[in-house]
Each structure stands twice: as structure tokens, then as C-alpha cells.
Amino acid sequence: MAILPDAKLYIDGVLRTAEDGRTFEVIGPWTGEPVGRAADASAADVDAAIAAARRAFDTTDWSTNVALRVALVTKLRALFEENRDRLSDLARHEAGAAIGAVGRAHVDMALEGWDDYLRLFPQIAWEKDFGARTGYGFETQRRAFYEPIGVVGAITPWNVPLYVNVGKVVAALLAGCTVILKPAPNTPGMGAIFGELAAAAGFPAGVLNVVFGSDPALAGEMLVTDPRVDLISFTGSTGVGKRIMEQGGASLKRIFLELGGKSAKIVLDDAPNFAMDVAQSMLVFHAGQGCAVHSRLLVPRSRYEEAKAVLKHAYGSFGDNWGDFDNPQHIMGPVVSKKQMERVLSYVQLGQEEGATLLAGGKARPDKGHGYFVEPTCFVDVTNDMRIAQEEIFGPVLVVIPYEDDEDAIRIANESAYGLSGGVASGDFDRAINVARRIRAGSVSVNGGMCIAGDLPFGGYKASGMGREWGLEGIEEFLETKLVAWRA
Ligand code: NAD
């Protein structure tokens, strides 16, 4: 029985079904049963969305009317506020968020980030004067104008769908772009609500469009390859990100990528709260399905046995306090899909084959329901060259790696294709900052500091992506620089 309202496409100002009437079931991670139904966009629907966004950018005043944009984006924010409960329902039923995690990571952070964008937006400089310069026997005055880049294809994942949708859509709209939002097939409702509320807010037709479908690649590939789309802002896996880079190259559109991670948290030997730092590394929040989670825990070899004992105790205490849809204390639910569960379990098997020791968890838990429940899992005796230490598992699986000294810890942290985030815990602030500065990642938390907030630029080094989302830089990503020079 469907729990969520039908997810409709929003194309050229109209909320509608797919042109051929096709729909697909949205399967709930808690039950493995349908929780809703979504329109299944065809190529014709995606084409219509691209045409509408192009027309709205080229022929309306959206790109130049800053006051209109601020008014409508502010009005849309108010409508999202009125729909907080629906947003929570969507995060819980579509993305499998546990009720104890839904506020923090799914709804509050996204809406606070939206407010940050609105607060920062007046700081955008639309012009910059470069002054006069004399050359070739005459004087030239120079000025740059910053202009919206055009039509944006925003392709988003299922793990924290509201947060990522807001990160792209709100920034692009404020910048003056028109947008086609393409959420993941698992979370169409969290995209559809943007269309529904934009229609209610009175957005001009074509400025925001929302398309989704059962085929994970169809709409995204059309956006990436279509020359009418000027910029792709993608969040998702590194594999798909590489494909987007290749396919987008043909039309030389701008491409920004927020990709996967295998981030390391280094607990230094002088960490004053060593046991707490180690215990808090358990990868349980949202079943470990966060791009920036610290899925590699690095502890000094001199304290490795102590760390193992702490983790054994911590996982034991966490026990079965997860996986209950209605328990407000629970921060961990299922993983998002059967496919994802099988993927996580295959890594558990691989870790054992590679010679790591399973300290906790490792099994599916069908006793918790017909959904996709995998136990909080921890591997010790892991070396950094193992695949479980190098590849993003995207589930509740922590790997614990010993190191010899600070240099060794930094080496291990950096010996990764990824570079999204990291952490350092130490009693010596300068030492911690020195280590943090040598980790090649887009953000590093020292002694638990929060790197993720709507006013901070977020993004990755290396295979974790390119470009920055959120903060002022997140809006500037959607602007082009035009230089105008005139003879004085
Ligand atoms: P995914 O790469 O499978 O899909 C992401 C989006 O791309 C979806 O909308 C999907 O339908 C679409 N897509 C799939 N194939 C495509 C193609 N060929 N062309 C264009 N679009 C295509 O990722 P996912 O499983 O939805 O999400 C999990 C991944 O997202 C993890 O790797 C995670 O680390 C990453 N992630 C990164 C960040 C970040 O900010 N760096 C944030 C959240 C999630």
C-alpha cells in the first residue's frame, strides 16, 4: 500500500504524469515493499524539460531579475518549512532514514543550509572594476560582470536527497540559472516536492523542472550530452562521475562533481579522550551511507589492542538499538536497497577473504523486517592495501588500521584514490592542525569540529570530485565571468 503521494514530474510549469503514462514503484528500504509510485519520465519528457529550461533562460528575465529570484526562492523556502513533516516522511520511507537521524542530517541541515544561501547571497559581487591600464598608446577601462551560466542539470543521489537537492537547486536558482533537477530512482518524491512547491510558489514556467524515472541513467545521460545544458552539477558515485566527465566533454559543458570517499580519521596517541574518539567512530549513523563519513579509523599501533577492546565494548553496547522505524532513539535504519545490501555483504565476505578480522557484525538481519538490514560491522587487523580499505562500501562498515607514527598515519590517510574528508584527534592543537593540513582532502575535522554546514564550501580532492558546493563558493559555481574593456 502506498504511503507517499504519487511523485509527479514538473515540466515547463506543469505538474504532470509521464507523456506515455508510465509509472514505477518506489520500494521502501524498511519493508522491501512499495511505499509510493512515481511518474517514469521518457526521453520525450526529459527533452521537454531541457527545452523549457533553455527557453526560460533565454527569453525571460529570470537571469537578470535578482529581486524576483530572491522573492520566489524565499517563498519556496517558507513552503518547505510548512512541509517539514512530509520531508521527514520522504527521508524515512524513501531513503530509509531512522527517526533519530532524520532531523539532523536530512531535514534540519538542508533547510538551515537554504537559509545560509539566502543570507550569503547579497555578498555575491555581480561586477568587479579592474581600473584603467595604459597600453598601445591609449587608456582602457576594465570591468568584469558575473553572469548566470545558463541551464543547469542537477543530478542527485538517494542518501541525503533533500540536502543535496537544496545544495544544487537553491544555489543555481539564486545565481540566475534555470534548472532541471534529476533525483535518483530511489528518491523521486524528494525531488517531486520541489516541483509541487515551486508550482505553488508561482515560479515562472521552465525556471525549475523536475524529471525522474526507473532507469537510473536515461535522464542523466540526456542532460549530460545535450548541448542546450550549460552545466552539470552531479553528486553520486565516482564511477558515474567519470562517465559524466567523458560524455560531457563532447559539448565542453561545465561539470562539477561531488563524488565518493573513503575518509580516514586519525586518532593520535595523545588524544585525551582516546576511548571516546575511538568509540564514536562506529559507522552507524544513517547506516554509514554518507559520502564524508570516516570509514577508515587509524589508531597508533602502540594502542591498537586498547582500541580493539574499546570498539568491542562500544559495538556491544550499541547492540540491537537500531533498525526500529518508530524508535526515536534510533539513528540507524536499513541500507537503501536490496542491491546496496548485497553490495555491503559482499564486502564483508571480501574483508574476511583478504585476512581482516571481523570484530563486530557482518550479517544481514532479516529478523528486523523484510527491508535491507545489515548489522553495524567493524573490521580490525586491516591493512591499507586491502580492497575494504580502498573502496567505498557505503554501508555500516568501519575498517580499523594501525599506524606507527604521525608520518605513517598521514601516509596511510593519503594513500587513497579519494580525498573527500578526514579527521584528527589529539590533545595538542598545533600537532593536530599540522596533521590536518597534510591530509589531501576537501575538509578535515579536528577533535570533532563540524566541517559540514550551509555556509562552508564542501567538496573533494582527487577522485572525490571537483568544484565546491554550499557557501558563497557554491553559488559562484553557477556564474560565468565576462570581462568588458572600453577605450577611455
Ligand atoms: P550513483 O552514482 O549511482 O547515482 C547518482 C545519480 O546519478 C542518480 O540520480 C542516478 O540516477 C544518476 N545516474 C546514474 N547513472 C548515470 C549516468 N550514466 N549518467 C548520468 N546520471 C546517472 O550514486 P548513488 O548510489 O545514488 O549515491 C551514492 C554515491 O553518492 C556514493 O558514492 C556517495 O559517496 C556519493 N555521494 C557524494 C556526496 C558528495 O557530496 N561528495 C554526497 C552524497 C553522496
Distance 238 CA to ligand 1 centre (A): 8
> Atom 15 of ligand 1 has which residue's CA nearest to it?
217
pLDDT digits (tens, 9 = 90+) for 344-378: 999 999 999 999 999 999 999 999 999 999 999 99
Read off the pLDDT band of 50 (50, 70, 90): very high
Above 80 in pLDDT, residue 1?
no
pLDDT digits (tens, 9 = 90+) for 156-187: 999 999 999 999 999 999 999 999 999 999 99
Question: Cell 537503501, residue?
Answer: 336
Distance 220 CA to ligand 1 centre (A): 10
Q: Measured from the CA of 420, which atom of ligand 1 is nearest?
A: 41
pLDDT value for 209: 99
Residues above pLDDT 70, as percent of the chain:
100
pLDDT value for 5: 94
Cell of 326: 518508530
pLDDT value for 311: 98
Q: What are phi and psi of 451, to 5 degrees?
A: -90, -10
pLDDT value for 103: 84
Above 60 in pLDDT, residue 383?
yes
Distance 152 CA to ligand 1 centre (A): 17
pLDDT value for 419: 98
Work out whether strand 34-39 and strand 23-27 pair parallel, antiparallel, or are unpaired. antiparallel
Residues with CB under 6 A from ligand 1: 155-160, 164, 182-185, 216-217, 220-221, 224, 235-237, 240, 243-244, 258-261, 291, 392, 394, 420, 460, 465
pLDDT value for 181: 99
Distance 237 CA to ligand 1 centre (A): 4
Q: Measured from the CA of 261, which atom of ligand 1 is nearest?
A: 34
Distance 258 CA to ligand 1 centre (A): 9
Testing ligand 1's pocket by substitution, the residue of 234, 237, 335, 443 carrying the most ligand atoms inside 8 A of its CB is: 237
Q: Measured from the CA of 458, which atom of ligand 1 is nearest?
A: 40
Question: Cell 543521489, residue?
Answer: 157
Q: What is the pTM of this model?
A: 0.97
> Atom 20 of ligand 1 has which residue's CA nearest to it?
220
Are the C-beta atoms of 155 and 233 separated by less than 8 Å?
Answer: yes
Options 258, 392, 469, 477, the catalytic residue: 258
CA distances in angstroms from 162 to 61, 92, 114, 156, 253, listed in the order given: 28, 12, 11, 9, 25
Closest among 186, 194, 216 to 87, alpha carbons compared: 194
pLDDT value for 488: 87
pLDDT digits (tens, 9 = 90+) for 251-285: 999 999 999 999 999 999 999 999 999 999 999 99
What type of residue is 289?
Q
Testing ligand 1's pocket by substitution, the residue of 238, 240, 339, 397 carrying the most ligand atoms inside 8 A of its CB is: 240
Cell of 424: 584528527
> What is the C-alpha separation between 271 and 427, in angstroms, rounded?
5
Above 70 in pLDDT, residue 234?
yes
**Average pLDDT score over residue span 374-398:** 98
Other Cβ atoms closer than 10 A to 387: 12
Both ends of the chain: CA-CA distance in Å?
A: 71
> What is the C-alpha separation between 442 and 420, in angstroms, rounded?
5
pLDDT digits (tens, 9 = 90+) for 25-41: 999 999 999 999 999 99
Read off the pLDDT band of 104 (50, 70, 90): confident
Distance 156 CA to ligand 1 centre (A): 6
Host H or E run for residue 484:
strand 479-487
Work out whether strand 264-267 and strand 296-300 pair parallel, antiparallel, or are unpaired. parallel
**Half-sphere CA count of 120, side-chain side, radius 13 A:** 22
- In order, the DSSP letters of 16-49 are E--TT--EEEEEPTTTSSEEEEEE---HHHHHHH
In the annotation, is 378 catalytic? no
Domains of the chain are 9-259+465-487 (3.40.605.10), 263-455 (3.40.309.10)
**Average pLDDT score over residue span 315-338:** 97
Other Cβ atoms closer than 10 A to 322: 23
Closest among 290, 389, 394, 385 to 345, alpha carbons compared: 394
Testing ligand 1's pocket by substitution, the residue of 50, 109, 235 carrying the most ligand atoms inside 8 A of its CB is: 235
Cell of 297: 579509523
Above 90 in pLDDT, residue 210?
yes
Tell me the pLDDT of the chain averaged across its residues. 97
Options 177, 196, 221, 291, the catalytic residue: 291
Distance 414 CA to ligand 1 centre (A): 23
> Atom 40 of ligand 1 has which residue's CA nearest to it?
258
In the annotation, is 258 catalytic? yes
